[in-house]
Amino acid sequence: MRVLIAPDCFGGTLTAREAADAIATGWRAAKPGDTVVERPLADGGPGFVDVLHAGLGGEVRHVTVTGPLGDPVEARWLSVCTGGRRFAYVESAEACGLHLIPAEARARACETATTRGVGELVAAAAAGSEVVTVGLGGSGTTDGGAGLLAALAEAGTDLAGVSLVAASDVENPLLGPHGAARTFGPQKGASPQAVERLEARLAAMDVLRPVAGVPGAGAAGGLGAALLSLGAEVRSGAGLVRELTGLDAALDAADVVITGEGSFDWQSLRGKLITAVAAGAAERGIPCVAIAGQVSVGRREMGAAGVQEAYSVSEHAGSVQTSLAHPRDSLVATARHVAGQWSR
């Protein structure tokens, strides 16, 4: 049997590459005769640069930028020359990721964390590049991209000859019940009162009003809206990675696809990686199975998204605490169980 392993990262515990390796290890332990292909993926959030570098080659460049709390952080972007054109890929989480904000500081920082470093990354990437793609996701910020816009303006960055692409991991608008503040603010440490202050602040940003309702404007705390205000084209981050890494060719050769992420929930159904992988599998009439740290999507919803079955690592491990304490071993064990269920 030919098995394609194509997961995203598992939120703060395993990178996409580590997750793919763990799932493949468990599968091979259960079914050593199967052909297993690992294809770690990303949807614009953490791992975006690593996954594209593995698929496209190019040169990873390093730059010191302003982190979300104002301190300097080391960040990377990817430069790729294809067909005589130079493309740049920026991972916003490298400069404003939630992982850069200590857990104990998030409640205080949720209203002040800045995307300035993302603007500095874009400025560096834009020099000499024709297309700059900014991966959105995993941010610790809700500033509507104010920091990015300020950094670009202060640097005098000329984007006139540069095509911008916002690779979004979600389809949320900027404002409202499904917007940047109310949907994602609590995940970044915002209290109900802070969420409403953030919502009001985003609504007051004149430059964002014309694009506030565009799907993806709410990505990365409104960073999507800031890029849209600069003329960026919004694309599905998962779809873009699928295209650039040749996922379709790998799907063509597979009998079953195993994907996954840290939490398979309702947000997973709004443009995240699992839905892109499941769609590709459905187009070929092959089953897609998800393995996630936690699963809160109902059978009907996952079926509509093209996922035949989902397995929870925490349930298989016995508790969330156990799975988090031993993320690789827990994922290996779950994958071994899944192989026994799905391999012929």
Residue 32's CB is within 10 A of a number of other CB atoms, namely: 9
How much is the average pLDDT of 59-72? 98
Residues of the chain with pLDDT > 90, as a percent, come to 84
Q: Which two tokens stand for residue 309?
A: 């079955």
- Tell me if 98 sits within 8 A of 76, measured CB to CB: no
pLDDT over threshold 80, residue 335: yes
pLDDT of 123 strictly over 80: yes
How far, in whole angstroms, is CA 77 from its chain's centroid? 15
- Looking at residue 332, its pLDDT comes to 97
Q: What is the DSSP string of 39-80?
A: ----SSSTTHHHHHHHHH--EEEEEEEE-TTSSEEEEEEEEE
Q: What is the pTM of this model?
A: 0.90
Contact 57, 80 (CB under 8 A): yes
pLDDT at 30 over 70: yes
Read off the pLDDT band of 267 (50, 70, 90). Answer: confident
Gap between the Cα atoms of 40 and 43, Å rounded: 11
Average pLDDT of the residues in 177-191: 96
Q: Report the candidate in 21, 101, 88 with the shortest Cα–Cα distance to residue 59.
A: 88
Whether 288 has a pLDDT exceeding 80, the answer reads: yes
pLDDT score for 253: 96
What is the overall mean pLDDT for the chain?
94
The predicted pLDDT at position 235 comes to 94
Average of per-residue pLDDT across 47-76: 96
**115 pLDDT higher than 90:** yes
Residue 270 has pLDDT above 90, yes or no: no
Q: What is the pLDDT of residue 271?
A: 61
Closest Cα to residue 95, out of 132, 62, 60? 62
Domains of the chain with CATH codes: 2-41+245-342 (3.40.50.10350), 48-238 (3.90.1510.10)
Torsion angle of C-alpha atoms 235, 175, 125, 16, degrees rounded to 10: -60
Task: Give the other-Cβ count within 10 Å of 323's Cβ.
Answer: 24
Q: Mean pLDDT across the stretch 221-234?
A: 97
Q: Is the pLDDT of residue 21 over 90?
A: yes
Which of 26-40, 101-115, 174-188, 297-311 shows the lowest mean pLDDT across its residues?
A: 297-311
- Per-residue confidence (pLDDT) for residue 344, from 0 to 100: 81
Asked if residue 169 has pLDDT above 90, the reply is: no
